Amino acid sequence: MDSSELRTEIVRHRADLLRIATIQLRDPHLAEDVVQEALLAALQSAETYEGRAKLKTWLVGILKFKVLDALRSRARSPRTMTDLEAERGTTDVDALFDETGTWREKPREWEDPTHGTRQRDFDRVLERCLEKLPGVAAQAFVLREVFELEAEEVCSLVSVTRNHLNVLLYRARMSLRRCLDLHWVAEEGATT
């Protein structure tokens, strides 16, 4: 692929990168800035792309560091009560369990969503489910589970204690599971 084709392909992934950044940052203007920085960095270093990974994977890797820089910058600024109140939007997951801590209704089995179109469909549903999570919970989940950061760094980036992080991750997992169960897994295992 020549350099002009590569540049065209890089820019073609802008919408996907913007969705990822928006989920992480929960600020469309900041997400736009971060994606622009990531695309600029990719275009400036396009000659270093060797094709060992998919182009989108390479771009998401660049975006990851730009998002982390933005989160670190945000973590250094004080949080307002409005930021903290936004977290209260998490769904109460206690209703899913009985008094002994077991499932009231056992979740249905999920099919393995790793094949082509089904994977893209699953990714879209997962993104929609992540968008429904409160900002801090979504950030914490993606930083820990997708970006695979250590818990201490996640705590620092989202300005929470380790115990609070564990609560956020638990609630995020339960909310995502319920959302995916509703929107991805149907009785026969087909998508809705």
User: How far is Cα 24 from Cα 153, in angstroms, rounded to an integer?
Assistant: 15
* 95-124 per-position pLDDT tens digit: 777 777 777 887 777 665 555 667 778 788
User: How far is Cα 121 from Cα 81, in angstroms, rounded to an integer?
Assistant: 37
Q: At what angle do helices 55-75 and 14-25 cross, to 10 degrees?
A: 30
Buried b (16+ CB within 10 A) or exposed e, 60-97: bebbbebbbebbeebeeeeeeeeeeeebeebeeeeeee
Higher-confidence residue of 190 and 180: namely 180
Task: Tell whether the model's pLDDT for residue 85 goes beyond 60.
Answer: no
Please give the residue range of the domain that contains residue 139: 81-183
- Which pLDDT score is estimated for 191? 46
Is 96 within the bounds of a domain? Answer: yes
On whether both 23 and 61 belong to a single domain, the answer is yes
- Which pLDDT score is estimated for 192? 44
Is 191 within the bounds of a domain? Answer: no
* 20-50 per-position pLDDT tens digit: 999 888 889 999 999 999 999 998 888 888 8
